[in-house]
Structure 1
């Protein structure tokens, strides 16, 4: 009897790793909102809604903001914002391992299971080695990025403010957050080569995924890379090319964006920057409200795709998009097997892709519907905002500041789901069960 009670209690108290991680993100959003409400965090008081919205945007590394970050936050407020960005980008469980390692507290099997869930791994093998690699990459990239950005920011702002601004933007860029302390984003640096190289390199490295970085650091040969790494690298290069060329072609003669710039070199820098930032980073060197509708639609598609798994990026992920394309091609070629780079992809992975894509479409459609029904605004601006929130990108066509309290709550929910992951949501909605009865197959006419 006692054993039955113990088992029942364990079942009641058991919380799955995905649910625990989601709860952990929610806790830090609440803590961040409380810290932002402190009088020493802002120059002028902000509302509770603004505080929690900003905290959610930081923890989910989105970058959508209701006000001018640099003008509203004190250095302490910016430090809190930077800390939340770092926590959200690295992953809360990954960051916890750093703290435990510093305190020389061993990470048990339970902690490794949680890490496996957060890093999207299928086994516990090499988890701790991967975490170590993550910290090495983060430290090197953010410090080197800050040092390089300081070359531009220190002469402009002085040593103290210049170094702080360089560090803030380096952390924001690597974690694909998109927050900037400049009132107009990075528009003032549209023609500055150093900023246009360092910032994109940081968010591209942060966005391809730590598993890919680990593969590159260990194996160093294309033939030795895993299928995941090969798909990520080729998919990322293709999307970068598509984004940069597409933005240049669509916006070259737009008087509100590229046509307003006299220098051809600066136009190319802007096209490069906006072509790569769209998928996840959220920085801007032109006014997003001025882009053509066709460009906005292209950007929506890029934002929904996002970056790589186990990265600081959001979206359905590049690998999901590539596998979906391969499955579509296989269907039209009447092939029952999916192949890529000399390897096959199982039906289970295809089903995951279908589930992830379907859930993502439902989430985005619901978000657009609710906002369109409750907010005043152009439909394309609403769709752009939802895609930006779901992809944790942070770009906006000026719609963020027009959100009502309900609208802010909807965007916060979408940002949260976009960061925690649609498959995690699916984990809660689905229950595993072994069928007791097997039915004969039937035919369903599709298409």
Structure 2
């Protein structure tokens, strides 16, 4: 197989796009099989579900538990696992199992898929990726089964635990229940295990590896420190605001006990970071909470993770750049480390292109859909951040609207830069020109 790969004259970005599309098409075909559904599901809805699963988003146009059989749900679960951990990661696993050598070109594909800066140690990272995935998902399945088996029976409880553990760790947000996890709003086990899964899955495998290997905080990389501190602060601030905004809202926290309000607020504060599960009715939340969730969905999780969004480190680099400019300095310095100016350009490119994708998505949906603007904005942000939360618009989307959301989910998962590089191969400019100032601001 490796020899055939070397004959493919495509860039890593193009290869990633093509393989992703191939798996989405395969998933669509499998979900259209007669024994995959319990009711009639058209090709567009099957395509939408397959894309949502492969991009680990979680937006659905038909009820997962109601429209699909166990076979259909297993197909969705496998798409989530492959999409979350990465197609190339599974390819490496297969190569290692059959004893095939992984060449330079394959390593470049893996580097692109995992958003790494070099190919050094890339195979070891993939091995650790699977190690962490199996261990974390396995432990979660045990705890969830202990919670659900007495309620549902061992078989159904184990299946529900497996489905939701895989969905949560891969930040997919798919649930086999139509109300997601709203029936467990104050449940301590669900509100502990599920967030633990999507936080660990969304923080990034490079961070997990760094934390595992370095017990001394001083030895952690700057990326790990930024991800851990940034994620903690964002989650804490979000929790405080949502708890405050929704405290007396009868449609959300109003009728809960103080303990349940804390648990539910915490869950809802961390789930917009591309997890997609909800224990509250999103459509019933206050407008300030919705606005905050838009920002959280746009930021997303960590690089080389199962999460989407522009990524926490991208957001922090731009934030530090603003602070640096306001201080009158010319170099971004974080914890006595100077940040490469090229990294700032990349962060600005990702953010600008992401805003462009979201803007175009909102513009088109505002023309095609008969819905309040806030619902449309929320839907597009959720699709781009591969979050899966919705204010209730997904099921009512027009055919054009579904295609728009499919495109936004696809771009959001692969990243606008990957898609851009797949269409136009960047060239290094060797000629330097004289500088000239232009007015800005």
TM-score by length of 1: 0.95
User: What corresponds to 1:376 in structure 2?
Assistant: 370
- CA offset digits 1:130-166 (Å, max 9, x no partner): 1110010000011111110011111111111110000
- Mapped partners of 2:161, 2:434: distance in 1: 64
CA positional deviation for 1:13: 6.2
Are 1:59 and 2:47 matched, yes or no? no
- Mapped partners of 2:180, 2:146: distance in 1: 18
CA positional deviation for 1:429: 4.1
- CA offset digits 1:28-80 (Å, max 9, x no partner): 00000000000111111200011000000000000001122112211111110
Please give the secondary structure, in 2, of the residue aligned with 1:143.
helix
Are 1:225 and 2:246 matched, yes or no? no
**Are the counterparts in 2 of residues 37 and 51 from structure 1 also a CA contact under 8 Å?**
yes
**Are the counterparts in 1 of residues 140 and 197 from structure 2 also a CA contact under 8 Å?**
yes
User: What corresponds to 1:304 in structure 2?
Assistant: 298
CA positional deviation for 1:435: 5.3
- Mapped partners of 1:425, 1:47: distance in 2: 28
User: What corresponds to 2:128 in structure 1?
Assistant: 133
CA positional deviation for 1:98: 1.3
Structural mapping, 1:177-216, within 5 Å: 177-216=172-211
User: What corresponds to 2:23 in structure 1?
Assistant: 28
User: What corresponds to 1:242 in structure 2?
Assistant: 237
1:336 pairs with 330, 338, 354, which one? 330
- Mapped partners of 1:13, 1:128: distance in 2: 21
**Are the counterparts in 2 of residues 82 and 171 from structure 1 also a CA contact under 8 Å?**
yes
Are 1:281 and 2:309 matched, yes or no? no
Are 1:266 and 2:266 matched, yes or no? no
User: What corresponds to 1:362 in structure 2?
Assistant: 356
Please give the secondary structure, in 1, of the residue aligned with 2:189.
helix
2:37 pairs with 38, 42, 64, which one? 42
User: What corresponds to 2:4 in structure 1?
Assistant: none
Please give the secondary structure, in 2, of the residue aligned with 1:29.
helix
- Mapped partners of 2:71, 2:244: distance in 1: 42
**Are the counterparts in 2 of residues 390 and 414 from structure 1 also a CA contact under 8 Å?**
yes
2:420 pairs with 418, 426, 438, which one? 426
**Are the counterparts in 1 of residues 278 and 389 from structure 2 also a CA contact under 8 Å?**
yes
Q: How many residues align?
A: 436
How large is the Cα RMSD of the aligned pairs?
1.5
CA positional deviation for 1:381: 0.5
- Mapped partners of 2:280, 2:362: distance in 1: 25
- Mapped partners of 1:372, 1:434: distance in 2: 40
- Mapped partners of 1:244, 1:344: distance in 2: 32
- CA offset digits 1:254-309 (Å, max 9, x no partner): 11111132x11111111000001011100000111101111111100000000000
TM-score by length of 2: 0.97
Please give the secondary structure, in 2, of the residue aligned with 1:150.
helix
- Mapped partners of 1:430, 1:351: distance in 2: 17
1:145 pairs with 140, 145, 159, which one? 140
Are 1:74 and 2:69 matched, yes or no? yes
CA positional deviation for 1:14: 2.3
Structural mapping, 1:390-401, within 5 Å: 390-401=384-395
